[in-house]
Amino acid sequence: MSKNMLSNIMKQAQQMQERVKKLQEEAEGKTVEASSGGGMVTVVANGRQEVLSIKIDPSVVDPKDIDMLQDLVTAAVNEALRKSQDLMKEEMGKLTAGMGLPPGLF
């Protein structure tokens, strides 16, 4: 492998790293929403898999049935994080499209 070819590969890798960093920064501004219990619990998360807010309908707050509320919150949080991960996979797919990289590399 020639020195020039290696230099080009290194330059492309650095450019890709910069694009990935920019994408991650932009992901912080993108949000997804998920709910459970027919909308009784709603969670908003960003593209960095950070939970931004949780809204709970007051009608679902029953001190005698905390287990149900915990289950609804858990389900909504997990769904929001899954959607956030899917969002990032989609964005990374756009970034790496046409580069001949194997799927799932990022």
Residue 103 has pLDDT above 70, yes or no: no
CA 95 to chain centroid: 15
What SS3 class is residue 52? Answer: strand
Q: 54 has which bridge partners?
A: 43
pLDDT value for 10: 85
Instruction: Decide if pLDDT at 94 tops 60.
Output: yes
**pLDDT tier at 18 (50, 70, 90 boundaries)?**
confident
- Flag whether pLDDT at 33 surpasses 90: yes
88 contact partners, CB below 8 Å, separation of at least 6: 27, 47, 49
Q: What is the mean pLDDT of residues 14-27?
A: 83
pLDDT > 80? residue 102 = no
More confident residue, 60 or 99: 60
Where do the domains of the chain lie?
30-95
Alpha-carbon distance of 53 to 77, in angstroms, equals 10
Structure tokens at 29: 């501004």
pLDDT, average across residues 32-57 = 96
pLDDT at 98 over 70: no
Domain at 30-95: CATH code = 3.30.1310.10
Residues 80, 44 contacting (CB under 8 angstroms): yes
Q: What percent of the chain has a predicted confidence (pLDDT) above 70?
A: 91
